[in-house]
Every structure is written in C-alpha cells, then in structure tokens.
Amino acid sequence: MAGALAVRETAIPGLLIVDLPVHGDARGWFKENWQRAKMTALGLPDFAPVQQNVAHNEQVGVTRGIHAEPWDKFVSVTNGRIFGAWVDLRAGDSFGQTVTVELGPETAVFVPRGVGNAYQTLEPGTGYAYLVNDHWSAAAKASYTFLNLADETAAIAWPIPLEQAILSEADRAHPRLAEVTPFAPRRTVIIGANGQLGKALQPLFPDATLLARPDFDLQHPDTHDFTGVGTIINAAAYTAVDRAETERAASWASNVTAVRKLVGIAREHRARLVHVSSDYVFDGTQPEHTEDEPFSPLGFYGVTKAAADELVMTWPQHYLVRTSWVVGDGANFVATMQSLAARGIAPSVVDDQHGRLTHTSTLAGAIKHLLDTEAAYGTYNVTDDGPTETWFAIARRVYAEAGVDPAMVSPTSTEEYARGKAMAARPRHSTLSLAKLGATGFRHHG
C-alpha cells in the first residue's frame, strides 16, 4: 500500500528522510524514486544531481563506510534492504551526531556534504543507489573524511556484528572519532578584497579567501581554482561612471564579461553568488525604487550594471545587493568633502540629486546577514536608513561635523555643475526602498 510522500528532519542538520509511495500489484511495484518538483516543495534541497551510482551487493552483511564526501547524496534502495548509518563529521555542535535508519524501497535519505555515510545489507542481492551533485574523481576522493565503522563514540548498533560482516581492509583501518579532523566547510571567496567594500567585508568573513589585484584578474576569474568554494562575494567592479562613457570596452569587460564568467563558476560549483548592483540601473524618475522596478539606465555604466544583474539572475542561488552613494575606506564623496573642509575650500555641490548614503559597514553587514540567515535568494536594496538627502545637504553636514562653517558650501544644479565637464547622466532620485531587507530582520544603521 502506497503511503504519502513526505520529507522528515533528523538529529543531524540537513540529513533528511524521504518517505516514498510504493505502488504494488501482482506484477511487482513502482515508485517515483526521485521527483524534483514534489520533493523540493516538501523541503528537500534542489541539489541538482549530475551522476547516479549503483552498488550491487550479493551477500547479507556487506558493510561499507563511513565516508564523508564533498557532495550531497540522495540514497535509496532498488531492491532488498539495508541498515543505513550516518555520522555528522562537519565542524560544529552536531559533530559526531549519529542517525540510523533501515531502508527498503519505501525510504530514501538525503545526505548533505560532509556527513559520513555507511550501510549494511540485510538481504542478499541488495541494490544500493545514490544520486550525487558532482562528478566523482580521484582528486575528489582525496578530500573524503573517514570514520571507523566500530567507533565507540558513534556507537552504531550494527544488526550484523562487524566481526561477522563483510568489509574492506580500508574500511577496517579508518580512524576513531577523536582522531578525525572535521570535514572542511565550503570556502567563502571575496573578489575585490582591497576595495572599499572588500575591506569592510574582511573582518566579517575572517576565514575567507581574499582575491584582489595584482594576484587576481577579475576579467579572467576562471584562471583561479574555485574547488570547495560555497560562497562567492563579488565586491569588485568598474565604477568610474564618467570614464565609462568613453572607456566602454574596459567597463563592459569588468562589469559584464567578468560577471558572466563568475555566474558560470557559481553554477559549476553550486556556490551562492553575492553581487553588488547600483541605483544607476534606474533613470531616477521614481522618488523611491523597489527591487522589482524595471531597468532604465541613463548612461553606459548603468547599462553595464543592468546587464550584469540580468546575468546574475540566471543563477537561482544569488543575492543581488543593490546600493547607492557608497562611503568607506577609500575615495568617496564624504572623504572629498572632508578634505575640502580641512583646506578651507568653499565648494558648490548639486542640490537636485536625492538619495541616501551607504556606509560600507552597512553594506557588508547586510551581506553577512543575508548569508547567515539564509534569506530567500533574490534582489535586496541596501543603504543606510534615515531621510532622503541631497549631495548639498550631506556636504553641509560634513563641514559642520568637521567644525567648519557649513555656509561655505553653496548649492548648484546638476546642469550648472556639469557645464564644461565630460559627465555621464545621473539619476535625480536614488532613494532605495528598504522594506524587503527589513523584513528579513536586518537592522539598518546610518
């Protein structure tokens, strides 16, 4: 009799038991062993399997494991029965946690990367099948983490005692839990690590791999080894808005071609991709921009950012972080005003462009929050909180905070300021709605 398809959690985080409906009659039985749409709707990760392996076991008592592998697995039985055992070998509070389940055709188990997998056959002629989301290779096997089947801490109650079981000498020789180095977590990579945002990200991701010029070329990211990478944070870009109008090839190469390659790398390694977008993808006619506003860039820089956004959105596991008026450790508007104030210079500053500053600490904190909370993938606006201001108002505030008379800053229009200069068009309204990010529990600063 067929039961209902169900996905159940276990004591090991991410290890899931799947109840499979089995339809039988006088001819035998039938089941949907893997059904992506139905299973992901019930909470199974959409883990994108690329290879299926089947192990045929002639005898009762064949015992294999315990192996933690660098991919996710979907384990099932084609015929016969097994006693399955799983031990969490990942670093963390659940390290050493054990789960055992008897599997027949009516049960499958999703095994996340880094959880040790083992089984023992209970019937002759048992078929053990598993889907994996990476291709097996000798190099990949070198990164396995092993645990002895007889480990006293895991204390697996094998139905057939190991001294009577059939197992390989290699499996007999695996180390005890106290000697196991926890399975390495997937790495985080920060691209553009020496830029304003990259510097703010570094203390929040102390174990991240930092990639920056001259050792890393954004336009050729595929020359770097991304094996074992689980998160790519792209904090690099061509941001010279005015020069982009004439340096179009260079702007396109960094902001579009490189991003296309990063999307391909993220897809190949099933990595989360964080990409930073800009208010320049909009023409600024709306007083406030939501995440789903259609693109309408005014200049070539905005065109490159919009094109990159479209590329990033082709990979489901993405966080597209849209921001504006970024201020951090480096060249920026606030730093320029502070320098002018210190030198007693009286600038004219545009008073008809509206938006909010974004300190890199806010931007980096939002990225960390989205990743840590595993918020729904998609686009999120990120700026400092507070009222919309103009560049003129911000400049006067900088002067006042520096102890310099803010009246030294005079207002001007965008047209007047641009007269005689080679300047790209700017959006007049850059304020981004923060409601979506706030709904994730992020607390804005500013």
Supply φ then ψ for residue 72, to 5 degrees: -85, 150
CB contact burial 45-81 (16+ within 10 A = b; e otherwise): eebebeeeeeeebeebbbbbbbbbbbbbbbbbbeebb
Q: For the chain, what's the residue count?
A: 446
Catalytic residues: 67, 130
Q: What is the DSSP letter of 255?
A: I
Q: Please give the Cα distance from 230 to 209 (Å, whole number).
A: 11
Could you please report the per-residue DSSP string of 90-109?
BSSTTTT-EEEEEE-TTEEE
Closest by CA position to 195, among listed 322, 370, 366, 326: 326
Burial group, residue 214, by CB count within 10 angstroms (0-12, 13-18, 19+): exposed
Q: Where are the beta strands (DSSP E) in 279-395?
A: 318-323, 326-327, 348-350, 354-355, 358-359, 378-381, 389-390
The answer to whether 381 and 325 have CB atoms below 8 angstroms apart is no
Burial group, residue 279, by CB count within 10 angstroms (0-12, 13-18, 19+): buried
Q: Please give the Cα distance from 397 to 405 (Å, whole number).
A: 10
Beta bridge partners of 77: 128
- The 10 Å Cβ neighbour count of residue 152 is 10
| Residue type for position 67 | H
Q: Please give the Cα distance from 53 to 67 (Å, whole number).
A: 15
Q: Please give the Cα distance from 7 to 15 (Å, whole number).
A: 10
| Residue type for position 444 | H
- The 10 Å Cβ neighbour count of residue 407 is 10
The answer to whether 301 and 424 have CB atoms below 8 angstroms apart is yes
